[in-house]
Amino acid sequence: MRSPGSTAPADPRRPGRKPAPRWAGALRGALGAIVVLGLWEVAGRTVFAGLYLIGTPSGIVTKIAENTETYLRGLLFTTTDAALGYLFGNAAAVILAVLVVLVPGLERLVLRIALVVYCLPLVALGPLLRLLYGSSNGPQITLAAIAVFYLTLVPLVVGLRALPGTWLDLTASYGRGRWTTLVTVRFRAALPYLMAGLQVSVPAAFLGALVGEFTGAERGLGVLSILALRSLDTDGLWALMILSTLVSLLGYGLVSWIARRITPERPDVLLSPSGPPARSAGWTRWARGVGGALVSIAVVLGGWILLFAALDLNPYFAKRPDDVWDWLIASPDAAAHRTEIFRAVGETLAVAIPGYAAGLLLGLGLATAFSLSNRVRRTLTPIAVALRCVPIIAVAPLLVAALGRGPFGTAVVVAILTFFPTLVSCLQGLRQLPGQVTDVFATYSTPPLRVLLLGRIPAMAPAFFSAARIAAPSAILAATVAEWLATGTGLGDLMAVDAATSRYTSLWSTVVIVTVVSLIAYAIVEVVEQRVLRVVAPEQTRR
């Protein structure tokens, strides 16, 4: 019984103790923030003074107060371009995903072409799009759309497959066609995966818009960031980064809020087929794969030639496939050209591979920790989201300057860009353990760690591998961005020098090599994925 005069029930977790009022938690949080800001101010004025690495809170506030109108105008321009690219890119992702489900015969071709577009390096596309669009906001919107569409397309296709074959048999027995099955059955299974893709796409759209602004725009946060970098205005650069982060956090929070309200909390049981799907002979699979790859190459090359001809682009800067072939293969200097490019490829892969592995492990580790401990999740989620929402194009020079221009600094940039999509996808995958299976574990009082190992991780496998596939070209993108901005090495620097010196044949040849390397990395991950999913999620291997 409550004692006379008591105002709150005893906390059942701590007998005899009243629960702490909410204002006490808020007060502790405020005091903690004050301490962090104080230490930040002291470190900025002592240890890091004169290094142009860390702005001080007082200096950042002063910069925002002095340049409020300019910063807000630039923020409005960049946010508008990022939002338009976000809408166009995700709309394209939904259309392509629906197409491959309704017309399965087109799936491999459509996804390969989409992958080629996603693997095109933003660092090189920016200057080329600037020549095409001029001073308009076209490059910003286009790069934002390219940066996001594949992040949504891959998990959405995974989600559209995440249903048992018996459901498809049931709808077929009632005479329902592919469209009705898509709307009534597949969309329900795909909704959580779609929302995960939309969440990850928010900071990616901002990155694409900033890259576009770095290539010659006349306004926006990217232009202001360039001015701050050139003038060593560390406080101004940090102010711009914080404003960009806040906008990305607001967008991410809005999409997350929508996701929590429209996605089911208890996924339905995903009944896998009783046995592995029928497999054709080895030579048949190889012939189909080689034939599909050749068709894809033909379509890409044909589209390249026809698009440039239709737009009547100047061949001085808009090179065709035969120009690239001559540069890399046929010309007398082709051997020297290949040596230059392959040396840069080695430098980029030396930082992209360890950064990619570290990002995947960090994302997977944080996701499993979050699933086991709500306290860890509440503590680290804001930090993880804020870290990814910081525009990497602005923070990369600071990270490289702080950690050194060697491989380690660039690998950290790659890991930051890689881990967040992995974290979001793995968290979504860990929640896909069917409700009935969860009830079985609860009936036997199964410890959380055992539930994680036996149930949640196998259920997470499709989401993890979709993130791993996306992260493979993203790691090369991150490496080239860091090289472009800060290190002066690798493919990023080579493309930057080519664009600055009008070596457009070399630039287009490097773009082709970067795209091929990204495609090879993607294919390696896909082979591993297929072998694993045949065991833990056979429904994902059906076409």
pLDDT, tens digit, 9 for 90 and up, residues 129-152: 887 787 788 889 999 999 898 888
**Which residues neighbour 355 within 8 Å (Cβ) at sequence distance 6 or greater?**
410, 411, 412, 413, 414, 415, 418, 475, 478, 479
The answer regarding whether domain 319-542 maps to CATH 3.30.465.10 reads: no
**Which distant-in-sequence residues (6+ apart) come within 8 Å of 454 by Cβ?**
441, 446
Q: Is the dihedral of CA 250, 251, 256, 261 positive or negative?
A: positive
**Tens digit of pLDDT per residue, the chain (543 long)?**
344 444 444 444 444 455 556 666 667 667 777 877 788 778 777 777 766 677 788 888 899 898 888 989 989 999 999 999 999 999 999 999 888 888 877 777 888 888 888 877 777 777 778 877 877 888 899 999 998 988 888 888 877 876 666 566 666 666 666 677 776 777 877 888 888 888 888 888 888 888 888 777 788 888 888 888 778 788 888 888 888 888 888 888 898 888 888 876 555 444 344 344 445 555 666 666 666 677 778 888 888 888 888 878 788 888 889 999 999 999 999 999 999 999 999 999 999 999 999 999 998 888 888 878 777 777 777 677 666 666 666 677 777 777 777 788 888 888 887 887 788 778 877 777 766 677 777 787 778 788 777 778 877 888 888 888 888 888 888 888 888 877 778 888 888 888 888 888 998 898 888 888 888 888 888 888 888 877 766 655 554
- Decide whether 47-264+293-315 matches 319-542 in CATH topology: yes
**What CATH number belongs to 47-264+293-315?**
1.10.3720.10
Contact 461, 536 (CB under 8 A): yes
Which pair of tokens denotes residue 228? Answer: 């701050």
Domain residue spans in the chain?
47-264+293-315, 319-542
Closest CA to 56 of 230, 236, 324: 236
Q: Look at the block and give the residue holding tokens 């050194």.
A: 404
| Dihedral sign computed on CA atoms, order 53, 344, 390, 81 | positive
Q: What are phi and psi of 411, to 5 degrees?
A: -65, -35
Nearest to 276 by CA among 527, 530, 534: 534
Burial classification of residue 95, based on how many CB atoms lie within 10 Å of its CB (0-12 exposed, 13-18 middle, 19 or more buried): exposed
Angle (CA) 317 322 325, round 5°: 105
Q: How buried is 441 (Cβ within 10 angstroms: 0-12 exposed, 13-18 middle, 19+ buried)?
A: middle
